[in-house]
Structure 1
């Protein structure tokens, strides 16, 4: 188990280069496109793992500082879809790519954001609560936003999206919470391996999507990557400054910023492939690569910066 823990830690530390290497490898082996058929199963495994790590205390921030949680989740589901819509208009993307980018702006925060907030000396309990709440709200929020914003590009069936997100996200998380409640001792023994499971699942998703879109990447890969940088960076910036304007503490501004900026790109890829086309899944895969580069860079920058009275304890409560 000690060896597995070390491997899991190593995989989490080098997630970004591993994803990049996997994407490059998949580009040259189109046979790996078969992995795209397993995206929903892989996402379900990741969400089940997330459920295994959740406890009742993870929801405490909803009651301790409800305003901060509400601000963060509202920004997640307003700033990011609108920013995605602006970027799609700015680049003039074709419908399938446009809907993939808007989908990515409409999904909840990614689970890697919690680690980034910890490294950035941000408010970890707030980050965990925001990720959990936005994920639990996703079956309603994401289909509603997609129907409202993206129906002009391609037909969006909000009920089908609701069913998919419930099956991929909500049910596995609830099952994970139940298992953790009844078998907490056993779960504690395997939680150290969960980062390895999540990293492996995301890498396989990226490989499947890249392989399925190998013919299109040369034409659209660079513009989508530029869109990823703008969308992700805009989310960080707007999340931080809007929270600051609302008098949120510095450590919590960092948490909100990272939560808003980092989306669940794996879920966006899965939904894009299942409900639209392989090309609609490509933005999620490319954004995933960039998120795992920008997140550590921002976390490292903030970890070196003091933020006053909250610096000592806000990120480690």
Structure 2
């Protein structure tokens, strides 16, 4: 979050507030495309009910980094993990650009390492179950996230958003907070621990797909700028 914030300025954050259509479209697509896709994919592939529940659960998760069940804890966690780091990064970029230029090359590798650790932890916790279910849950998770990325972009374009906003919404819709939320909610909500397996597989699938999509978008933007 801090690394992301260091790519922004305070003017960028103010500008986001002036785009209610984009924000509302992203919110609606986030909580419609993925839950519906999770349900349809589980039906099409006819996966067992405990895996289907986990897949639909992944589709219902928001795209943030951490959520606590307690309301006050949710607010504090959101401030600590998302808002404060992003605002701090934007503040540094706005007023301490020499420092930002110095540390910026180190931030993406550090962020990538953090994501790798989280994904590795999720897979390790469910390794035996993942080996048992084989390619079925992997295929379902792949279709779920591919659907989120694809329809997030297409539907955003259909409601009149520009290409840049549609790409952003596509990534936001396709990426879900599956690992921490899944392992928090499943023990408290579902009786079968196998329900958490799609959450673990999803954390890796979306990291791969999301990174590939971000790279393609970045290459496309660079090519457009050269033209």
Report the CA distance between 1:107 and its aligned residue: 2.9
The number of residue pairs the alignment matches comes to 215
Given the alignment, which residue of 242, 256, 274 partners 2:169? 256
Report the alpha carbon displacement of residue 82 of structure 1 after superposing the two structures with TM: 2.0
In the alignment, does 2:151 pair up with 1:246? no
User: Secondary structure of 2:147's partner?
Assistant: helix
Are residues 1:174 and 2:83 paired?
Answer: yes
User: Which of 32, 57, 65 is 2:11 aligned to?
Assistant: 57
Q: Paired residue for 1:160, among 48, 69, 72?
A: 69
Alignment of 1:23-102 (within 5 A): 47=1, 49-50=3-4, 55-90=9-44, 91-95=46-50, 97-102=51-56
> Which of 130, 138, 148 is equivalent to 1:235?
148
**Of 203, 208, 213, which aligns to 1:293?**
208
- Give deviations 1:21-46, integer Å, cap 9, x for gaps: xxxxxxxxxxxxxxxxxxxxxxxxxx
Indicate conservation of the 8 Å contact 1:49/1:173, yes or no. Answer: no
Question: Structure 2 vs 1, CA of residues 191 and 280 (structure 1 numbering), >3 Å: closer, same or farther?
Answer: farther
Q: Deviations over 1:232-287 (max 9, x none)?
A: 121122222212222223343333323322x13xx321122223246444323322
Name stretches of at least 5 consecutive residues in structure 2 with no aligned partner: 188-192
With structure 2 as the length reference, what TM-score do the two structures score? Answer: 0.72
**Is the 1:51–1:173 contact (alpha carbons within 8 Å) kept by the matching residues of 2?**
no
> SS of the counterpart of 2:69?
helix
Task: State whether structure 2 residue 161 is matched by structure 1 residue 207.
Answer: no
The alpha carbon displacement at 1:216 in A equals: 0.8
Note if 1:276 corresponds to 2:186: yes
2:22 & 2:81 partners in 1: Cα distance?
Answer: 27
CA distance in 2, matches of 1:269, 1:100: 11
SS in 1 for 2:32: helix
Partner of 2:190: none
Distance (Å, rounded) in 2 between the aligned partners of 1:216 and 1:106: 22
CA contact (8 A) 2:122 2:203 kept: no
Distance of aligned partners of 1:78 and 1:61 in 2 relative to their CA distance in 1, 3 Å threshold: farther
Relative contact order, higher structure (CA 8 A, sep 6+): 1
Aligned to 2:138: 225
Structure 1 residues 245 and 85, CA gap change in structure 2 (3 angstroms): same
Q: C-alpha displacement at 1:108, in angstroms?
A: 3.3
Compute the displacement of 1:288 (Å). 3.1
**Equivalent residues of 1:239, 1:260 under 8 A apart:** yes
Structure 1 residues 199 and 107, CA, compared in 2 at 3 Å: closer, same or farther? Answer: same
Shift of the 296–201 alpha-carbon distance from structure 1 to 2, 3 Å rule, reads closer
Alpha-carbon distance in 2 for matches of 1:59, 1:167: 20
2:105 to 192, 208, 214: 192
Alpha carbons 1:205, 1:285 under 8 Å: kept: no
